[in-house]
Structure 1
Amino acid sequence: MINMFEVNETNKMITQENLDVRTITMGISLLDCISDDLEKLNQNIYDKILRLAHDLVPTGEAIEREYGIPIVNKRISVTPIALVGGNACKKPGDFVTIAKTLDKAAHEVGVNFIGGYSALVSKGMTKNDENLIRSIPEALATTERICSSVNVGSTKCGINMDAVRLMGDIVKETAELTKDQDSLGCAKLVVLCNAPDDNPFMAGAFHGVTEADAIINVGVSGPGVVKQALTEVRGKNFEILCETIKKTAFKVTRVGQLVAQEASRRLGVPFGIIDLSLAPTPAVGDSVAEILCEIGVEYPGAPGTTAALALLNDQVKKGGVMASSYVGGLSGAFIPVSEDKGMIDAVTAGALTIEKLEAMTCVCSVGLDMIAVPGDTSAASIAGVIADEMAIGMVNQKTTAVRLIPVIGKKVGDNVEFGGLLGYAPVMPVNRFNCENFVDRGGRIPAPIHSFKN
């Protein structure tokens, strides 16, 4: 039974501590839309999205009003388009027509973003995969709500270095084509290792081929709630600290579970998973960095930061799995720079570098996320950063990602404004030494020894 104390506690978390449901994401399979006629394929895709998702946004808004729980985003993820478009798309430009169809459908149903303009190439690339990847810059430059992802590695397969090298060029080209928007296209493009099939968060969301025809996945948030809870145990030992985080994560996840079940019932679509990640925003008080400071480091990046983040990530997961039987997606603590005011402050203070962020990604939920770098950063250097992060994911059997934004015309120390949840970011330096001979070798880095399990 829910008592009045729990109701009041939840109300306080919402009104004073920035608790929200970050997204309701409807996953939609497009496998039954496949056709060898491009025009028919586009029509099939548009019709199916409108048929299944036409009530998604009104339903989310109704739940917000009735329960008083903010739901920041309503989103859609679809089957990786490289798989869907292969029969009909013979060149990169053909795939761009699908991107425009997806964007049109997203506008029509009113969602914030639509993910799944994706390819899965951890072991090798088909011609269809390569055509989609080469279409990404134009697709992101000519649409508004499309998000794109490419999975280039996994613990089971190793790292496809041909795809990594190509993605260095694609990130640069995307930056150039969207330079009039401070290279915003790169904020909607992520490179992944061990990408999950049920991630509700952008830009990495896609609807995996093992999923049902349609599914509801919900991503909760609540860094402000955790931070506030920790102020009440300031100076206490680690046992008390961990118990506090765990109990708070449980409460936050229960809110997401309620929203997920209600959205599933009203839409007539099965409930998939709760992603219980702590996803920050640029708003003051809604920061993972501030949690790390409350745990005891002066700024993220100070000695002890990686240990504090590991502790936080683990306790969030332990609390969340008690609150829902279906926890999935990424689940943990996100450390995007531009989307977290505390991370921005740490970079500005000189406490946080890309190298320290890379170390932190060994224990957090994703990877190098929403990091603005100088516009003259080479494609080879970007590929090298991607390779490093993919190696962390491959060896540690976890999801890692890279979302770098080489902002054309900007240099170290400049600030870039992306707006909304994407926030703003100081341009960070990238190691100036060359890795071109490494990323140009081609081929595949083999899977680690511990991948041989069956």
Structure 2
Amino acid sequence: MINLYEVQETNKMIEESNLDVRTITMGISLLDCCDTDVDKVCENIYNKITTQAKNLVSTGCEIENEFGIPIVNKRISVTPISLVGGSCCKTTDDYVKIAKALDRAALEVGVNFLGGYSALVSKGMTDSDRLLIESIPKALASTERVCSSVNVGSTKTGIDMDAVKLLGEKILETAELTKDADSLGCAKLVVFCNAPDDNPFMAGAFHGVTEGDAVINVGVSGPGVVKRALEKVRGEDFGTLCETIKKTAFKVTRVGQLVAQEASKRLNVPFGIIDLSLAPTPAVGDSVAEILEEIGLESVGAPGTTAALALLNDQVKKGGVMASSYVGGLSGAFIPVSEDQGMIDAVEANALTLEKLEAMTCVCSVGLDMIAIPGDTKATTISGIIADEMAIGMINQKTTAVRLIPVIGKDVGEMVEFGGLLGYAPVMPVNRFGCDAFVNRGGRIPAPIHSFKN
């Protein structure tokens, strides 16, 4: 039973520390929407999403009002579209048709993002996969709510460098097509290694083929709650620090568990997982960077940053898994630059560089996320950065991701405004030495030796 003290404590976390449920994401399988006619597929997709998710937003609002827990986003993820469109899509324009159908469905049910315009190509690309990747720039430029992701590597299969090369080019093309909005299209495209099937967070969410017909996944967030808790143990030893983070993560995750169970029951859709990630926002006091600074750093990027992040990530997982039997997705600490005021401040103070962020991704939940770079960055340089990050995920048997935004017309130090939860960011410098010969080799980087576990 929940006692009165716990209710009061949760209310304080909501009112004073920006505690919220970041997203209720309904995963929907579109495998039964396949057909040889692209127009029929679009019709099937629209009908299935608008039927299955018709009450998602209203139910989320009901739970929000009834329990007093802010639920920031209601979203949808779908089966990777390269699998759904394989039989009917013969051109990139066919795939763009499907993207527009997804966008119309998202608008109809009232969600802010729909993820799953995706391909899984860690070992190689089918013709359908390649067509979808080729279509990404136009699809993201001609839709508002559709998010795209491509999984190009895994610990079991290695890294498909042909896909990495292609995506470097497509990221630049997406930037160019959306340059009037500061290349915002790139904020809706994520490149993964070891992508999970049940991630509820955008832009990388998709409904994996191992999932059922529909599922409810919930992402919680509470950087402000953790920071407030750590302020009370300032100067204490690491044992006390770790216990405080674990206990706080437990409380935050219990809030998500309650929301997930209620949403599952009211929508009559199975409960999938709780993703207990610490996902920051541009709001003051809702920053992962500020947690790291509370742990003892003068600024994120200082020596000790990677160790502090490793500690935080591990304790969040240890506390969260005790609060739910179904923990999944990414789960840990996100470090997006544009969505975290502390990260933005650290970049502006020259305390945080792209190379330090890459080192931090070795121990956190995601990777190089929401990073603005100069618009004249070469496609091969972008591919090289992606390859580095994919290698970290492959070797360390963890999920890593890249969401780079080459902002056309902007250079190092200029500010880019994305708006809403996407925030704003200073354009960061990238290493100007070339990697063309490396990226252009073609083929696949083999899986590491420790992948052989059969």
The TM-score bracket by the shorter chain reads over 0.9
Matched residues in 1 for 2:448 and 2:77: separation?
A: 31
The aligned amino acid for 1:110 is: G
Matched residues in 2 for 1:295 and 1:373: separation?
A: 29
Q: Per-residue CA shift, 1:276-310, capped at 9, x if unaligned?
A: 00000000000000000000001110000000000
The aligned amino acid for 1:428 is: M
Structure 1 partner of 2:39:
39
Using the TM superposition, give the Cα deviation of residue 403 of structure 1 relative to its aligned residue in structure 2, in angstroms. Answer: 0.2
Structure 2 partner of 1:310:
310
Pair 1:253-2:287 in alignment: no
Matched residues in 2 for 1:325 and 1:433: separation?
A: 47
Matched residues in 2 for 1:234 and 1:33: separation?
A: 55
Matched residues in 1 for 2:401 and 2:66: separation?
A: 36
Using the TM superposition, give the Cα deviation of residue 401 of structure 1 relative to its aligned residue in structure 2, in angstroms. Answer: 0.3
Structure 1 partner of 2:404:
404
Structure 2 partner of 1:73:
73
Matched residues in 1 for 2:438 and 2:203: separation?
A: 28
The aligned amino acid for 2:74 is: K
Pair 1:264-2:270 in alignment: no
Using the TM superposition, give the Cα deviation of residue 236 of structure 1 relative to its aligned residue in structure 2, in angstroms. Answer: 0.1
The aligned amino acid for 2:276 is: L
Matched residues in 1 for 2:284 and 2:445: separation?
A: 42
Matched residues in 2 for 1:446 and 1:293: separation?
A: 38
Matched residues in 1 for 2:167 and 2:430: separation?
A: 17
Which structure 2 residues correspond to residues 164-243 of structure 1 after superposition, within 5 A? Answer: 164-243=164-243
Structure 1 partner of 2:416:
416
Moved over 4 A (4+): none
User: What secondary structure does 2:303 align onto?
Assistant: coil
Using the TM superposition, give the Cα deviation of residue 336 of structure 1 relative to its aligned residue in structure 2, in angstroms. Answer: 0.1
Structure 1 partner of 2:351:
351
The aligned amino acid for 1:189 is: L
Structure 2 partner of 1:394:
394
Using the TM superposition, give the Cα deviation of residue 334 of structure 1 relative to its aligned residue in structure 2, in angstroms. Answer: 0.1
Q: Per-residue CA shift, 1:107-131, capped at 9, x if unaligned?
A: 0000010000000000000000000
Matched residues in 2 for 1:335 and 1:39: separation?
A: 40
User: What secondary structure does 2:216 align onto?
Assistant: strand
Using the TM superposition, give the Cα deviation of residue 133 of structure 1 relative to its aligned residue in structure 2, in angstroms. Answer: 0.2
Matched residues in 2 for 1:369 and 1:167: separation?
A: 16
Matched residues in 1 for 2:111 and 2:205: separation?
A: 14
The aligned amino acid for 1:253 is: T
Q: Per-residue CA shift, 1:23-74, capped at 9, x if unaligned?
A: 0000000000100011111100000001100000000000000000000000
Using the TM superposition, give the Cα deviation of residue 75 of structure 1 relative to its aligned residue in structure 2, in angstroms. Answer: 0.2
Structure 2 partner of 1:320:
320
Pair 1:441-2:441 in alignment: yes
The aligned amino acid for 1:201 is: F
Structure 2 partner of 1:297:
297
Using the TM superposition, give the Cα deviation of residue 255 of structure 1 relative to its aligned residue in structure 2, in angstroms. Answer: 0.0
Matched residues in 1 for 2:432 and 2:41: separation?
A: 45
Matched residues in 2 for 1:203 and 1:438: separation?
A: 28
The aligned amino acid for 2:98 is: I
Matched residues in 2 for 1:122 and 1:91: separation?
A: 22
User: What secondary structure does 2:285 align onto?
Assistant: coil
Q: Which consecutive residues of structure 1, in runs of 5 or more, have no partner in the other structure?
A: none
Fraction of identical pairs, as percent: 81
User: What secondary structure does 2:404 align onto?
Assistant: strand
User: What secondary structure does 1:338 align onto?
Assistant: coil
The aligned amino acid for 1:144 is: E
Give me the TM-score of the superposition, normalised by structure 2: 1.00
Matched residues in 1 for 2:320 and 2:297: separation?
A: 25
Matched residues in 1 for 2:365 and 2:216: separation?
A: 21
Using the TM superposition, give the Cα deviation of residue 5 of structure 1 relative to its aligned residue in structure 2, in angstroms. Answer: 0.6
The aligned amino acid for 2:446 is: P
Structure 2 partner of 1:362:
362
Matched residues in 1 for 2:239 and 2:431: separation?
A: 39
The aligned amino acid for 2:190 is: V
Pair 1:117-2:117 in alignment: yes
Matched residues in 2 for 1:37 and 1:404: separation?
A: 35
User: What secondary structure does 1:323 align onto?
Assistant: coil
Work out the number of aligned pairs and report it: 454
Structure 2 partner of 1:333:
333
Structure 2 partner of 1:143:
143
Using the TM superposition, give the Cα deviation of residue 335 of structure 1 relative to its aligned residue in structure 2, in angstroms. Answer: 0.1
Using the TM superposition, give the Cα deviation of residue 235 of structure 1 relative to its aligned residue in structure 2, in angstroms. Answer: 0.2
Matched residues in 1 for 2:362 and 2:33: separation?
A: 39
Using the TM superposition, give the Cα deviation of residue 383 of structure 1 relative to its aligned residue in structure 2, in angstroms. Answer: 0.1
Matched residues in 2 for 1:226 and 1:263: separation?
A: 25
Q: Per-residue CA shift, 1:209-240, capped at 9, x if unaligned?
A: 01010000000000000000000000000000
Matched residues in 1 for 2:3 and 2:214: separation?
A: 34
Matched residues in 1 for 2:278 and 2:38: separation?
A: 40
Matched residues in 2 for 1:59 and 1:309: separation?
A: 35
Matched residues in 2 for 1:51 and 1:187: separation?
A: 28
The aligned amino acid for 1:367 is: G
Matched residues in 1 for 2:439 and 2:224: separation?
A: 40
User: What secondary structure does 1:77 align onto?
Assistant: strand
Matched residues in 2 for 1:354 and 1:181: separation?
A: 23
User: What secondary structure does 2:76 align onto?
Assistant: strand
User: What secondary structure does 1:372 align onto?
Assistant: strand
The aligned amino acid for 1:406 is: P
The aligned amino acid for 1:187 is: A
User: What secondary structure does 2:219 align onto?
Assistant: strand
CA root-mean-square deviation: 0.3
User: What secondary structure does 2:152 align onto?
Assistant: strand
User: What secondary structure does 2:96 align onto?
Assistant: helix
Matched residues in 1 for 2:216 and 2:158: separation?
A: 31
User: What secondary structure does 2:453 align onto?
Assistant: coil
Structure 2 partner of 1:64:
64
Matched residues in 1 for 2:127 and 2:2: separation?
A: 55
Structure 1 partner of 2:7:
7
Q: Per-residue CA shift, 1:170-211, capped at 9, x if unaligned?
A: 000000000000000000000000000000000110000010
Matched residues in 2 for 1:85 and 1:232: separation?
A: 54
The aligned amino acid for 1:413 is: G
